[in-house]
Structure 1
Amino acid sequence: MTAYLHCMSHSPVKGHFDPAPAIRAEVDAQVAAAHERIKAFDPELVVLFSPDHFNGFFYNIMPAFCMGMNAYTIGDFGTAKGRISVPTELAEQFANYVIEQGIDTAVSYDMQVDHGFGQPLDEFVGGLDVCPVIPIFINSVAVPLPTFQRTRLLGEAVGRFARSLNKRVLILGSGGLSHQPPVPELATVNAHMRDRLLGSGFNLPPEERELRTQRTIAGAARFVEDQNSLYPLNPEWDNQFLDLLEQGNLEELDNLPNDELSRIAGKSTHEVKCWLAAFAALSEFGPYQTSHRYYREIPEWIAGFGGLSARSC
Structure 2
Amino acid sequence: MPIKLICVSHTPLLDFASPPPAIEASARATFQKLADQVKAYNPTLIISFGPDHFNGFFYDLMPTFCVGVRAQAAGDWNYGPAPLNVPEDQALGLIEHCLDHGIDLSYSYRMQADHGFTQPLDLLCEGQLDRYPVIPVFINGAAAPMPRIKRVIELGKVIGEYLKTLDERILIIGSGGLSHDPPTPQIQTAPVEVQEFLIAGRNPTPEARKHRQSKVIAVGQRLAEGDLSAALPLNPEWDKDLLQRFKNADFDYLAQMTNDEIRRDGGRGGQEIRAWIAAFAALSAYGEYNSEIHYYEPIQEWIAGMGMMTAEPK
The residue type paired with residue 267 of structure 2 is: G
1:255 CA displacement: 1.7
- Distance of 1:243 and 1:228 partners within structure 2: 29
- Distance of 2:9 and 2:256 partners within structure 1: 24
Q: Secondary structure at the match of 2:86?
A: coil
Partner of 1:35 in structure 2? 35
- Whether the aligned pair in 1 keeps the contact of 2:235 and 2:305 (CA below 8 Å) is yes
Structure 1, unaligned runs of 5 or more: none
Partner of 2:265 in structure 1? 264
- Whether the aligned pair in 2 keeps the contact of 1:80 and 1:115 (CA below 8 Å) is no
- Distance of 1:142 and 1:213 partners within structure 2: 18
- Whether the aligned pair in 1 keeps the contact of 2:10 and 2:176 (CA below 8 Å) is yes
- Distance of 2:10 and 2:64 partners within structure 1: 20
Which deviates more from structure 2 when the two are superposed, residues 80-89 or residues 133-142?
80-89
- Distance of 2:194 and 2:40 partners within structure 1: 45
- Whether the aligned pair in 2 keeps the contact of 1:80 and 1:122 (CA below 8 Å) is no
1:105-184 matches, within 5 Å, as 105-126=105-126, 127-184=128-185
Structure 2, unaligned runs of 5 or more: none
Partner of 1:72 in structure 2? 72
- Distance of 1:305 and 1:39 partners within structure 2: 22
Deviation per CA, 1:145-168: give whole Å up to 9, x if none: 111110011111111101110211
1:193 CA displacement: 1.2
Assess, with a 3 A threshold, how the Cα gap between structure 1 residues 172 and 196 changes in structure 2: closer, same or farther. same
- Whether the aligned pair in 2 keeps the contact of 1:81 and 1:118 (CA below 8 Å) is no
Q: Secondary structure at the match of 1:11?
A: coil
Partner of 1:279 in structure 2? 280
The residue type paired with residue 156 of structure 1 is: K
- Distance of 2:82 and 2:17 partners within structure 1: 24
- Distance of 1:220 and 1:79 partners within structure 2: 20
1:312 CA displacement: 1.6
Deviation per CA, 1:116-137: give whole Å up to 9, x if none: 1111111112322111101000
Give the fraction of aligned pairs with identical amino acids, expressed as a percent.
Answer: 41
Find out whether 1:86 has 2:86 as its counterpart: yes
The residue type paired with residue 143 of structure 1 is: A
- Distance of 1:247 and 1:302 partners within structure 2: 27
- Distance of 1:281 and 1:18 partners within structure 2: 34
Find out whether 1:233 has 2:213 as its counterpart: no
Q: Secondary structure at the match of 2:202?
A: helix
Q: Secondary structure at the match of 1:72?
A: strand
Find out whether 1:303 has 2:304 as its counterpart: yes
Q: Which runs of 4+ in 1 moved over 2 A?
A: none
1:232 CA displacement: 1.1
Superposition CA RMSD, Å:
1.0
- Distance of 2:228 and 2:310 partners within structure 1: 29
Deviation per CA, 1:211-251: give whole Å up to 9, x if none: 01111100111122222321111111111111011111122
- Whether the aligned pair in 2 keeps the contact of 1:75 and 1:118 (CA below 8 Å) is no
- Whether the aligned pair in 1 keeps the contact of 2:30 and 2:294 (CA below 8 Å) is no
The residue type paired with residue 53 of structure 2 is: H
1:214-229 matches, within 5 Å, as 214-224=214-224, 225-229=226-230
- Distance of 1:187 and 1:2 partners within structure 2: 45
- Whether the aligned pair in 1 keeps the contact of 2:184 and 2:268 (CA below 8 Å) is no
Q: Secondary structure at the match of 1:268?
A: helix
1:81 CA displacement: 3.0
1:80 CA displacement: 4.0
Q: Secondary structure at the match of 2:228?
A: coil
1:205 CA displacement: 1.2
1:292 CA displacement: 4.2
- Distance of 2:80 and 2:182 partners within structure 1: 21
Partner of 1:51 in structure 2? 51
Partner of 1:21 in structure 2? 21
Find out whether 1:293 has 2:283 as its counterpart: no
- Whether the aligned pair in 1 keeps the contact of 2:50 and 2:175 (CA below 8 Å) is yes
Deviation per CA, 1:265-309: give whole Å up to 9, x if none: 212101111001101111112221112431101000111110001
- Distance of 1:164 and 1:228 partners within structure 2: 50
1:189 CA displacement: 1.5
Q: TM-score w.r.t. structure 1 length?
A: 0.97
Q: Secondary structure at the match of 1:202?
A: coil
- Distance of 2:244 and 2:80 partners within structure 1: 31
